[in-house]
Amino acid sequence: MNGLVRRVGLSLLGPVLAVLVALVISAAVIALIGEDPVAAFRVMVDLGDSPSQQVQSIVVILNRAVPLFLAGLAVAVAFRMGLFNIGVEGQYRLATILAAAVGAAVVLPGPLHVLLVVVVAMVVGASWAGIVGVLKVTRGVSEVISSIMLNFIALGLASFLLTGPLRGSPPGASIVTTAEIPESGRVPSLNGVLTALGLATPRSGLYGFLLVALVVGVVVAVLLKRTRFGFDLRATGLSPSAATASGVDARGMVVKTMLISGGIAGLIGLPDLLGAQYDYGTEFTAGLGFLGIAVALLGRSTPLGIALAALLFAFLDRAALPLQFADIPSSVVTIIQGTIVLAVVVANEIARRLALRSAERAGAAAGPGPQADGDDGVPPPTAPDGGQRVHTGVPGDQQGVQA
């Protein structure tokens, strides 16, 4: 029991410490620009005076958290394999514009229409991420480099398609968009659920895609923890040679992991596309892929942790507008988010070292034994979510995979 409490405490230490450090540093920055930190934080946590305003604020937070949660899951699946899928941004942008074009080009019964849009988005995202995996296992190209380069290609291709073949807005329009998805291809809001619970009806709709995101989160959790694939992934991360000896294809696991990560990335833009905007345009939400990296780091690459981190980042994003109304620079939100990213890396390393020392003390109390990390007793490098890295056996791989 004590061991379980200690492990849970160490797993929570990193994120909690990161948030606290971010708040302290942000308070110092707010004070330096001549504003009252207490007043700023009070504005941030104020959800409104009336019940309708409070419900509306909660809906805004949940709607923002849904794509952030999916982005965090996409990044976390790759993290579990020790892979850095930096290309989530390009994967979801390209997937969203093609899904929007297909959704606008057909008219089907409601469920089939939505399913078609979802499938197209996942296939495009998985295909684009699959290029990264294939380059890694066949040519030894670092997934960091290839995914960053593919980001630029995807964004450029999306821009070309939007202003060319897939343009649906009339010439001379200030905002260029694709054609609008018909009613049958839209996901209904969950406002009826709020009304049934006795809550005020919000001005904007609560994304129905929230339910899809929850299902994806459960599927990812079960896939990684309760299936043969998840076991193979962990086994390959721990020791590629041992996994290969037991019949696991280490190279194939790299490609499969990138395909799954890209498939989830393809869903990131769908909450906004099918729940509010119904087309892809020049003002479509950008930057979710990069925010997903921060969300996955703060959530330690677990679905539950990612959900909490997504809610925190969504809460901070909503606070930007009230801060502006209070004559406080909204850049405070960006400062807090950036500080969290830096602090969580440091805090995770501190938590890892504390866990290592605890294990060493427990081993010393149990008696001498073989060293687990190597002949020199030096632990392997640390992965983004606090795990350990070992080599994948893939030519040119200098990063390894996570244990």
pLDDT in tens, 252-275: 999 999 999 999 999 999 999 999
Helices (H) and strands (E) in the chain, counts: 15, 2
Give the max Cα distance, the chain: 77
164: Cβ–Cβ under 8 A, 6 or more apart, which residues?
Answer: none
Residue 134: band (very low, low, confident or very high) from pLDDT cuts 50, 70, 90? very high
DSSP letter for 173, please: -
Average pLDDT score over residue span 237-255: 82
297: Cβ–Cβ under 8 A, 6 or more apart, which residues?
Answer: 341, 344, 345, 348, 384, 385
Q: What φ, ψ does residue 373 adopt, rounded to 5°?
A: -90, -20
| CB atoms inside a 10 Å sphere around CB 34 | 6
pLDDT of 38 strictly over 50: yes
Name the residue with higher pLDDT: 231 or 234: 231
pLDDT reported for residue 1: 57
Name the residue with higher pLDDT: 114 or 80: 114
Average pLDDT score, the chain? 86
Name the residue with higher pLDDT: 284 or 35: 284
Please return the burial class of 226, using the count of CB atoms within 10 Å of its CB with bins 0-12, 13-18 and 19+.
Answer: exposed
| CB atoms inside a 10 Å sphere around CB 354 | 15
Closest CA to 216 of 340, 80, 122, 309: 122
- Greatest mean pLDDT among 1-5, 92-96, 300-304, 357-361 lies in 92-96
pLDDT reported for residue 374: 43
Residue 2: band (very low, low, confident or very high) from pLDDT cuts 50, 70, 90? low
Residue 112: band (very low, low, confident or very high) from pLDDT cuts 50, 70, 90? very high
pLDDT of 376 strictly over 60: no
State how far the Cα of 140 lies from the Cα of 131, in Å rounded to an integer.
12
Range with the poorest average pLDDT among 212-221, 251-260, 278-287, 344-353: 344-353
State how far the Cα of 91 lies from the Cα of 388, in Å rounded to an integer.
27
Its pTM stands at 0.86
Average pLDDT score over residue span 280-301: 93
State how far the Cα of 319 lies from the Cα of 121, in Å rounded to an integer.
30
Segments in 175-302 forming alpha helices (H)? 191-196, 209-226, 228-238, 240-245, 250-265, 270-272, 288-298
Three-state DSSP class for residue 223: helix
State how far the Cα of 131 lies from the Cα of 148, in Å rounded to an integer.
12
State how far the Cα of 333 lies from the Cα of 319, in Å rounded to an integer.
7
Name the residue with higher pLDDT: 401 or 228: 228
State how far the Cα of 400 lies from the Cα of 403, in Å rounded to an integer.
9
Residue 387: band (very low, low, confident or very high) from pLDDT cuts 50, 70, 90? very low
Per the CB < 8 A criterion, the answer to whether 117 and 270 are in contact is yes
Q: What length is written for the chain?
A: 403
pLDDT of 77 strictly over 70: yes
Name the residue with higher pLDDT: 359 or 55: 55
